[in-house]
Structure 1
Amino acid sequence: MKRALPILILLACLAIVAPARAQDVAAYAPASGDAAVDRHLTDINDYAARYPAAFADEMSRYYAVPRAYVEAMQQQPDWTAGDIFMACALAQIVGQPCRAIVREWSRDHEGGWKAVAGRLQTEPGSPQYRRLRSALESTYRRWGRPQP
């Protein structure tokens, strides 16, 4: 019985944490207008939760965002890693600094990323959005992570 007690405690803890985590994942809705992009952004949240430094490295190295800025954004309660990725990847595609897209999202994101991208003339299906999907695929290759 003494050996079973730690296992029972662990199982009880998992029973409490697992539903909360499932609600977090279910609650995240990037609304990019592209189901594949939405799956990637949701998965990026999971990846960055486990590997925050690797996520910050990726954004800094390949999306030209200062690492300190990414780390500061990761600490913001209203920002997810998927949103950080989307803002900075879109910024690179449209030739603006990531901060400009962060401001645009913060100003108005009622229609999700699809609405923000539309205001940047980067609608789903456009050549720019295809570049976004390509950027996501490249990021996943660098991480050695399977596509979601």
Structure 2
Amino acid sequence: MSGPTPDQRMPNARLLKSRVFAFAAAIAALTGTGNVAAQDFSFGWNPRSGDIWIDTQLDDVNRYGSRYRQPFVDEMVRYYGAPRELVSTLLVERNWAPGDVYYACAIAQILGRPCRYVVDIWERDHGQGWGNVARQLGIKPGSAEFHRLKRGFVPTYDRWARPIQIDEDLYRDYPDRARKIRSRDEAKRGNEKRHADNGRGNNGNGNNGNGKASRGKKAGDKGNNGNGKARGDH
């Protein structure tokens, strides 16, 4: 009895390959370890919050939420009052960016409204950017509510044990961190100044000193020659 022909083996090989890819995709979705590009999100990725620091943090929230799915979901549920089913649906089925999920729930918390309320508004008006959506909801740049929104990133990052560079607007809220940042910046400026001073000394002063010494030696030689001749004439 002969074995399967090459043509008979090929469908089985293709089926096995497709199953392997499907299994890998499922694992990535469950563990949150897959790399998600901005164009893969349902709304793309362009937060336009009106604040560069917030945009930077939301971009980092994307990286964290895509890689560490379960801790991200837990944070939204435990500290922002979002239903677990809603967060999971937004991330997996509706393909929201983690940064959008975080900001929607954070704004809702400031307003005292359910996260779903801001989610529905963002789905409708996401083309305007988060800055305009927040303004329509009464959270304007420079307001106390906007400041609370910025400040909220810090405890979340602390719970994630993730480093965060606080904005100058938050220095008064976190004076110990502000002192460390100022000390580090002063030390950096001091090092840069010392390097600049050393560079000027090597390139300029040292050469000028050598040049003056050389000119002085030549002048002395001429003087000795002149004096010697005068003594010889007498």
Q: What is aligned with 1:125?
A: 142
Q: What is aligned with 2:117?
A: 100
* Partner Cα distance (1:38, 1:49) in 2: 17
What SS does the aligned partner of 1:106 have? Answer: helix
1:123, CA displacement in angstroms?
Answer: 1.4
Q: What is aligned with 1:33?
A: 50
What SS does the aligned partner of 1:92 have? Answer: helix
Cα deviation code 1:43-62 (max 9, x no counterpart): 00000111000000000000
1:67, CA displacement in angstroms?
Answer: 1.2
Correspondences of 1:1-148 after superposition (within 5 Å): 24=38, 28-147=45-164
* Partner Cα distance (2:36, 2:64) in 1: 15
CA contact (8 A) 2:36 2:66 kept: no
1:138, CA displacement in angstroms?
Answer: 1.0
What SS does the aligned partner of 2:140 have? Answer: coil
Alpha-carbon distance change, 22 to 89 in structure 1, aligned in 2, over 3 angstroms: closer
* Partner Cα distance (2:56, 2:94) in 1: 21
1:101, CA displacement in angstroms?
Answer: 0.3
* Partner Cα distance (1:118, 1:61) in 2: 26
* Partner Cα distance (2:70, 2:58) in 1: 17
Alpha-carbon distance change, 70 to 121 in structure 1, aligned in 2, over 3 angstroms: same
Letter in 2 for 1:35: I
* Partner Cα distance (1:51, 1:22) in 2: 12
Q: Please give the TM-score of this superposition, normalised by the length of structure 2.
A: 0.51
* Partner Cα distance (1:103, 1:143) in 2: 27
Aligned residues: 127
* Partner Cα distance (1:145, 1:30) in 2: 21
Q: Please give the TM-score of this superposition, normalised by the length of structure 1.
A: 0.79
1:23, CA displacement in angstroms?
Answer: 6.2
Two-structure CA RMSD over aligned residues (Å): 1.8
Higher relative contact order (CA 8 A, sep 6+): 1
Letter in 2 for 1:69: L
What SS does the aligned partner of 1:65 have? Answer: coil
1:95, CA displacement in angstroms?
Answer: 1.0
Q: Which has the larger radius of gyration?
A: 2
* Partner Cα distance (1:44, 1:114) in 2: 17
Cα deviation code 1:68-124 (max 9, x no counterpart): 211111114451000000000000001111111011111112220001101101012
* Partner Cα distance (1:34, 1:105) in 2: 18
